[in-house]
A and B are shown apart, each in its own frame.
Chain A
């Protein structure tokens, strides 16, 4: 059964690249462009893992993460945060809010794919 991954980022080009990359790996992929749309898509698409950008309009990645973790139905959802900022505090904040992993941009596509596969295997 193919795992489902939701990609959330406000930069269209990044979304395109991630979508192409993950589809090629055989995952089922959906996209969202801002925080609100992300929550809606989680509800409708029911992904196994979400790639979540932090800096977004309407709702930030942190807020989405918080909301998702507050929902007991989504306990099994793996959250990977993406951001251009790599401060220790950002990472700490994300992990404290319940994210499972944190990836800084620009990322290595190989590493990202490996990490996603690894997380979904567990």
Chain B
């Protein structure tokens, strides 16, 4: 029955079934009826349990007793820190991150270097793990065939190689049928959830069989084991291995999120944050169930096969076979195959995405090879790269299996991979919680940790299989004892995994912190740090209001999108974007900072954020304004210093071959241009009231004889100017915070109608004093938007106080109207004042510009109210503008989008 042909057929049938489930899942997703529920999501996490769990745990238990449990306790504890995971998901959705390399690269300034580095570490680190799967499948196949006496020998070909090749083909068919890294692989997730169930059923089946079929239950099994002296010790924990216990828990806690396949499933494939509620307990429960029978199986095997040659990794097969339970053995085989295939599929797809987006594409873009920069349709190339990557990765897995796989039990190999991906922890956690973490720190930490891992784990694994000389393990590098690969600096007495973990994390964290503290992030990196660490603070809308100067054309950006996303999808996204901005056609949209960010975000989903940044930057010629500049304004001394510093930097950037005259000329022209800058205007605005204050104060101080009338007048002026100065400073700070994205937003559900009514009530007295009538048309239960209530109130106050200022006294009338269509709320503040010319309608939104003649009717305003209001409204995704004709009053209108129905 267990002939090679039959096994092959059965395997093919099972894999075909997986394929069918995946197609079904994808089809339902396309139809908008996703089958990814909380349970499916939670089960898909069980891709964590590979043939390591299936075969290797039992093997480990025969030598280490209960120590195998550490690998599953870690994930349980880590998942309960669900806040960390939610944060990762939130950040990834906001930044359209599609892999771990993307996450790290994006956080530290969208760096291509980091993207490549992380990808290399991930590939090198995970190759042993893939080799493990191949080894397991090969071994299990051999067991079955041995039993039936048949064999599976192809001339000239090693059976494991064939397995690797078949897996490569299957993975390619599974995951690269079409290119769309922007969408989720819902089919794959469904298939993984399905195979998780199959795994569990198979394992429980064999567990029950052995425990209750071959023995008399738990008690009987354990008593028999206790009776055999060499087995009894497996029943207790070895407290001398306490360090290893904790180290392994830590290691697995990190692996559950940093293994590429885990990151993919948990973060990238997450459809709904609320699914985490289920995952937090259902997945650990799965882990409990799949582990209950491991120790009994191990003991059972040891007892049953006493005195014989055996491989404990395959007890789950050899035990049923020894009793002739061939059907059960087949089920177990399928379970193990399922576990291995699931891991290989998700892991290689995740890795190939990283290799394509973060390693190959950036290099291709830069090297101009294949003319990638100019090609019209790149989807074919991208697919090709991914398929090639899958083949190469599996090939590497096979090579590692040959080179080092024989010397280790399955679990040993897996732990090597765990230790590799643990190196991502400092950069990731630092990136999410520590704004001071910088690019240099991340690079240094990753390189340091990776190097130590190589030296203490990967290379020794080759040495143990005899492929390289093991001098550096036994005697230390170059004979230096302190450099013994597995007892660095004399730290002996730890098992090799803990030893490596300790030193590599020490190097990693140490370098990360050291370099981060000694370098400063540039503007882009600092902005990303804000967006990552404060992701919960910035509300649902992630519009970016940073200072941006540059030129770009909409056509160029759209062309870029079409090349990478394809024309159809590009049109879709553009239409959605245009609709969200109140335009009917994307062609009328300005190529402003927001559009550029939108284009970059779309591209990131397809080719990774680092490459997206490069592509967009090549199209939009951008000037960078430093974050610090605007905020340093109020410190005169620093400002002057900053000015001369900026001057120095700018003149250095000029061409090398310049005469002294050209340099001075350039400088003067530059400074002249800067004259109109925000900074110099602000200086002027601030010094003006200061001048009055100082002059009058000095005069009052110098001459005590000034008569009372004048004294009172002067003091009044001082007070007024001081108030004016304070208002100005507050508004400038507000403006600077808003523009640099540093403002704090408290987003909640706000009833706009209510805000309007409250504002009208609080300003009511002002209106009555001036005799201006105030009317409104506001629905009783106003439309509700997601916004910052205080900021919205600020906007309303600004508009209403402007209106009351410019309206004639007794006949003045101001009307407030709140309406809503399906997409947005519209608030209008209309007055019957003198109105504005077309030019004035634009000018009033510029900073420090005010309506009316600045001399004759110099109002108490600062000129910043409207620009600030506009910034606020635009932050919420809306627009603010005015419709007016001279002599016909003015109507100020702003819109705020209604929250979309998706949560």
Contacts and interface: CB of A to CB of B under 8 A. Distances in A.
- Consider the complex of A and B and state whether they touch directly, i.e. have CB atoms less than 8 Å apart: yes
Interface of A: 10-14, 16-18, 20-21, 24, 33-34, 55, 57, 83-85, 87, 89, 104-110
A65 B691 CA distance: 22
B671 A107 contact: no
18 contacts: A10-B854, A11-B688, A11-B691, A13-B696, A13-B717, A14-B688, A18-B695, A20-B710, A57-B854, A57-B855, A84-B685, A85-B675, A87-B643, A105-B687, A105-B691, A106-B687, A107-B694, A108-B694
B693 A106 contact: yes
Contacts of A18: 695
B698 interface: yes
B699 interface: yes
Interface in B695-746: 695-696, 698-699, 702-703, 710, 714, 717, 720-721
Contact of A84 (B667, B672, B688): B688
Given A20-B699, A24-B703, 7 more contacts: A12-B858, A17-B696, A33-B855, A57-B854, A57-B855, A89-B667, A110-B702
Contacts of A16: 717
Contact of A106 (B672, B694, B720): B694
Contacts of A17: 691-692, 695-696, 699, 714, 717
Nearest to B705: A24
A85 B668 CA distance: 15
Contacts of A34: 855
B492 interface: no
Contacts of A108: 694, 698
B692 A13 contact: yes
Instruction: Give the secondary structure class of B's interface.
Output: helix
A12 B691 CA distance: 12
Nearest to B695: A17
Question: Chain B interface residue count: which class?
Answer: 20 to 34
A106 B702 CA distance: 17
B463 interface: no
A66 to B, nearest CB: 16
B668 A14 contact: no
Nearest to A54: B684
B684 A85 contact: yes
Given A12-B858, A14-B691, A109 B702 contact: yes
Nearest 8 pairs of A and B residues by beta carbon: A84-B687, A17-B695, A105-B691, A13-B692, A106-B694, A84-B684, A109-B698, A106-B691
B246 interface: no
A57 B695 CA distance: 23
B680 interface: yes
B629 to A, nearest CB: 16
Given A11-B692, A13-B717, A89-B671, A109 B855 contact: no
Contacts of A11: 688, 691-692
Nearest to A56: B855
Nearest to B698: A109
Which of B683, B688, B693 is packed against the most chain A CB atoms within 10 Å? Answer: B688
A109 B688 contact: no
Nearest to A92: B668
Contacts of B692: 11, 13-14, 17
Contact of B855 (A10, A14, A20): A10
Nearest to B721: A13
Contacts of A84: 683-688, 691
Contacts of B703: 24
A21 B699 contact: yes
A106 B855 contact: no
A85 B683 contact: yes
A64 to B, nearest CB: 16
B409 interface: no
B35 interface: no
B719 to A, nearest CB: 12
B545 interface: no
Nearest to B668: A89
